[in-house]
């Protein structure tokens, strides 16, 4: 199917939706300067073996690996990244009453910075760092400052172990968060998936639940994904171009928030 035809199909599906779920991965933030893990725009895990740099057991036994990765690869990018037009388009779909939940695998907090509400962060958020001993919370700025002095930051209050509020490889997802995401896909009328290779579970299980319910699956991605075979339609390209175009293609009459009548 040509892109124009897929866009038309996606636009028609979304025009009828009132309980859409958006499901995002690293690709939505690629154009904000955050490198992806796999596929276009990044090869993070081929350079930094996750079993060494992002595994929970290793985080405790050899913390200098994670923290050197964080210092070199993540902290500068995260301190200086901003939402792009793709994030903005998702917020617009939510404002129009088409999308009601956003599920993200990303830990960069950019959906919220773009004004999106009801964001379910499956893998946590790397702007918060908890002391595992006293519960003191540190900000990204705190960590950046501490890492100028010492590679492995320690709690400012008690000297305890500080951990980013994210899910590491080998960690379980927060059960309530996963439950909320599962409920969202179990009741949605469409899922719009953006910028994910759909290789990591249990996150990638969520679109499969939608497929079993025989609801439409729209995949917008630069490059192929594992679940392309079950997509109702696929929009190939960059999120910051495709998503605003998709919003533009939805006519005003298709929105689910009818404009208030003007006073007589
Ligand atoms: N627009 C849309 N898609 C893009 C763009 C873009 N501008 N740039 C890259 N992509 C695509 C890539 O080609 C790839 O197909 O986005 C996808 C990103 O896939 P991954 O890097 O695998 O990211 P994701 O699926 O979110 O990874 C899942 O794996 O490492 C763990 O916990 C980490 O949450 C992450 C999870
Ligand atoms: Zn502490």
What CATH number is associated with residue 247?
Answer: 3.40.50.1220
Domain boundary among the residues 140, 166, 192 is at 166
Same domain, yes or no: 206 and 249: yes
What pLDDT, on a 0 to 100 scale, did the predictor assign at position 262?
A: 43
Question: Is residue 262 in a domain?
Answer: no
Q: Are 118 and 102 in contact (CB under 8 A)?
A: yes
Does the CB atom of residue 104 touch ligand 1 within 6 A?
no
**Which portions of the chain are predicted below pLDDT 70?**
251-264
On whether both 177 and 106 belong to a single domain, the answer is yes
* pLDDT at position 40: 86
Q: Which of 87, 100, 111, 123 is catalytic?
A: 123
Distance 148 CA to ligand 1 centre (A): 30
- Can you give the pLDDT at residue 137? 98
Angle made by CA atoms 210, 20, 257, in degrees to the nearest 5: 160
- Ligand 1 site, residue 38, Cβ cutoff 6 A: yes
Residues 223 and 178 in one domain: yes
Strands 124-131 and 137-139: antiparallel
Within-domain flag for 264: no
Query: Between vectors from CA 233 to CA 118 and to CA 237, what angle results, nearest 5°?
Result: 80
Is residue 249 situated within a structural domain? yes
Residue 232 is given by DSSP the state S
What distances in angstroms separate CA 206 from CA 22, 185, 191, 210, one per listed residue? 11, 7, 9, 7
**Domain finish residue from 143, 166, 189:** 166
Same domain, 88 and 141: no
Number of domains in the chain: 2
Residue 25 CB less than 6 A away from ligand 1 = yes
DSSP per-residue letters across 2-16: -HHHHHHHHHHHHHT
* Shared-domain flag, residues 56 and 98: no
One domain for residues 116 and 188: yes
d(CA 67, CA 54): 10
Establish if 211 belongs to a structural domain: yes
Ligand number nearest CA of 156 is 2
The confidence score (pLDDT) of residue 259 equals: 40
* pLDDT score, position 251: 66
Question: Under DSSP, is residue 38 helix (H, G, I), strand (E, B) or coil?
Answer: coil
232 domain residue, yes or no? yes
Tell me whether residue 2 is exposed, middle or buried, using C-beta atoms within 10 angstroms of its C-beta: 0 to 12, 13 to 18, 19 or more. Answer: exposed
Q: Which atom of ligand 1 is nearest to the CA of 105?
A: 34
pLDDT digits 0-9 by tens, 116-157:
999 999 999 999 999 999 999 999 999 999 999 999 999 999
Is position 263 within any domain?
no
- How high is the pLDDT of residue 46? 85
| Nearest residue by C-alpha to atom 10 in ligand 1 | 27
Same domain, 114 and 220: yes
In this structure, the answer to whether residues 109 and 66 fall within a common structural domain is no
What's the CATH number where 151 sits? 3.30.1600.10
Q: Residue 181 falls within a domain, yes or no?
A: yes
* 221-239 core/surface letters (b: 16 or more CB in 10 A; e: else): bbeebebeeebbbbbbebb
State whether 144 and 229 are in the same domain: no
Looking at ligand 1, which atom is closest to the CA of residue 223? Answer: 13
Q: Which domain holds residue 63?
A: 42-80+128-166
Tell me, yes or no, whether 12 and 136 share the same domain: no
Pocket lining: 37 vs ligand 1, CB cutoff 6 Å: yes
The reply to whether ligand 1 has any atom less than 6 angstroms from the CB of 223 is yes
pTM value surpassing 0.75: yes
Active site residue 111: no
Residues 146 and 117 in one domain: no
Domain presence at residue 261:
no
Distance from the CA of 85 to the center of ligand 1, in angstroms?
Answer: 17
Nearest protein CA to atom 8 of ligand 1, as residue: 27
Indicate whether 248 and 188 sit together in one domain.
yes
């Amino acid at each position: 199917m040509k892109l124009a035809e897929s866009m038309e199909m996606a636009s028609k599906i979304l025009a009828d939706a009132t309980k859409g779920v958006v499901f995002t991965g690293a690709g939505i933030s690629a154009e904000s300067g955050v490198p992806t893990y796999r596929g276009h725009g990044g090869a993070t895990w081929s350079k930094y073996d996750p079993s060494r740099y992002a595994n929970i057991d290793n985080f405790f036994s050899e913390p200098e690996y994670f923290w050197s990765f964080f210092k070199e690869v993540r902290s500068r990018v995260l301190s200086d990244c901003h939402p792009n037009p793709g994030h903005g388009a998702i917020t617009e779909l939510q404002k129009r009453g088409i999308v009601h939940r956003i599920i993200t695998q990303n830990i960069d907090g950019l959906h919220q910075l773009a004004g999106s509400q009801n964001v379910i962060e499956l893998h946590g958020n790397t702007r918060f760092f908890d002391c595992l001993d006293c519960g003191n919370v540190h900000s990204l700025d705190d960590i950046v400052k501490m890492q100028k002095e010492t590679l492995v930051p320690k709690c400012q209050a008690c000297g305890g172990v500080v951990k980013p509020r994210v899910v590491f490889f080998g960690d379980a997802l927060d059960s309530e968060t996963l439950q909320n995401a599962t409920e969202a896909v179990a009741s949605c009328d469409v899922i719009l998936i953006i910028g994910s290779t759909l290789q990591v579970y249990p996150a990638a299980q969520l679109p499969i639940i939608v497929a079993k319910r025989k609801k439409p699956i729209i995949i917008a991605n630069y490059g192929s994904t594992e679940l392309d075979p079950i997509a109702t339609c696929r929009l190939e390209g960059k999120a910051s171009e495709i998503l605003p175009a998709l919003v533009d293609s939805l006519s005003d009459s298709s929105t689910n928030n009818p404009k208030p009548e003007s006073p007589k």
